[in-house]
Structure 1
C-alpha cells in the first residue's frame, strides 16, 4: 500500500516562544526529523502544511475564546509562520498553505504553495497555475494511506485525520510525533479520531 506522511503545522508560532505555543512543539519538530531520517523510505510521498494567514477575519481576536478565535499567529511571510528550525525539510516534497482569508484547520483545506523555481525562465504567470489541493496531490501520487504527525493533536492534526478518513485514506496518527494544546482536549480528540476509523498509534 502506497503511504504518505503528512506533517502538520510544525511552525514557530506553535512551538515554544511562539504566539500560540504548544508545550512540546519543538520536541515534536526534532522527533519528526528523526522519524523522517529513519523511515523516509517507508513513504511514497511526504507533504507538509503551514498555517498561512493574510486576513482570516474573526479567526484572530484581541479577546480570543480559544475555540473559534485565537491570538494573532502564523501571519503570512512572518517569522512565526516559518517552519521550526528543528524540522528537517529535506525529505518534504510539497508544502500546502491554509487559512489565508478564513480559519482552516485541516491540511485538506490547504493549497499547494507556488514553487518559484519551477517557473524560472518560463513565461507562465503563477496566477495562471491551477490550484492543487492536498487530496489532488495525494491521488496524483497514487497514495492509499497516510500517517499524520505535527501540531496540534487536538486541532489541526485531528481535523486533518478526520478529513483523511472521510476522503477514503487508511489513516494513522502517530501520537508520539504530535503535541496537543491541553491534556483533556487531546484525549477527547484521540477518542473522536479512533471512533471515526483513524488508527491511533502510540509507542
Structure 2
C-alpha cells in the first residue's frame, strides 16, 4: 500500500488560547511532530488541511449552537488560521484549505493551497484526486477535532475506497465523552481506529 498522512486542522484557533479551542490541541501538535520525525519514511506523502474561512455565511454566529454554527474562527490569512507552529516545521507535500465560503468539515472538501494564487482562489486540486494522482491507497488521519473534522475526513476517505486509519492518540475531541460513539461509527464504515502503546 502507498500511504499518506493527513494532518487535519492543526491550527492555533483550534488549540488552547485560540478562538475555538480543543483541550489538548497543543499536546496533539507536539505528539504529531514527534511521530512524524520518527516515522516520516512510512509515508509517501504528508498533507495538511486547514479551515480557511473568508465568508462562510451562517457557519459563523454571534449566538452559535456549536452544531451547525460556531464563533468566528480560522479567518483566512490570520494567525489563528495558520498551521500550528510545530506543524509548520514538518516538511509537507501539500496544504489544503476548506470552508472559504461555506461550512466544511471533511478534508475531502478542501482544495490545494497555492501561495502564488490570488487570495480566495478556489482552483486548487481537491484532496481525493490529488491522492489518486500519486497512487495513494491508504491514509492515516490525525489532528483536530476527533469528533468533527477528523471524523468527517475519515468517513469520506473510506467512502473514496482508501484504507483508512485514525490514530486516536494523535487526535483530540471537542466532546471526549462522544468518542466511543464516534469510533463505533468509524469502525462501522470500515475505518480502523488505532490506539498507540
Bucket of the pairwise TM-score, normalised by the shorter protein: over 0.9
Distance 1:127 1:17 in 2: 26
Task: Compute the displacement of 1:28 (Å).
Answer: 0.5
Deviations 1:121-163 (A, max 9, x none): xxxx899995301011101110000000000000000000000
- 2:185 corresponds in structure 1 to 192
Runs of at least 4 residues of structure 1 off by over 4 A? 125-130
Distance 1:61 1:40 in 2: 39
Distance 2:69 2:179 in 1: 18
Residue 160 of structure 2 corresponds to residue 167 of structure 1 = yes
Distance 2:75 2:140 in 1: 27
SS of 1:48 mapped into structure 2? strand
Task: Compute the displacement of 1:84 (Å).
Answer: 1.2
Distance 1:131 1:10 in 2: 20
Aligned length: 196
For structure 1, list consecutive stretches of 5 or more residues without a partner in the other structure: 120-124
CA RMSD between the two structures? 1.8
Distance 1:100 1:133 in 2: 14
- 1:111 corresponds in structure 2 to 111
Larger radius of gyration: 1
Judge conservation of contact 1:8–1:148 (CA < 8 Å) in 2.
yes
Task: Compute the displacement of 1:184 (Å).
Answer: 2.2
Deviations 1:16-52 (A, max 9, x none): 0001000000001011101110001000111100100
For structure 2, list consecutive stretches of 5 or more residues without a partner in the other structure: none
Distance 2:167 2:65 in 1: 28
Deviations 1:67-92 (A, max 9, x none): 00000000000111011112244321
- The TM-score with structure 1 as length reference comes to 0.92
Residue 143 of structure 2 corresponds to residue 153 of structure 1 = no
SS of 2:4 mapped into structure 1? strand
- The TM-score with structure 2 as length reference comes to 0.95
Residue 175 of structure 2 corresponds to residue 182 of structure 1 = yes
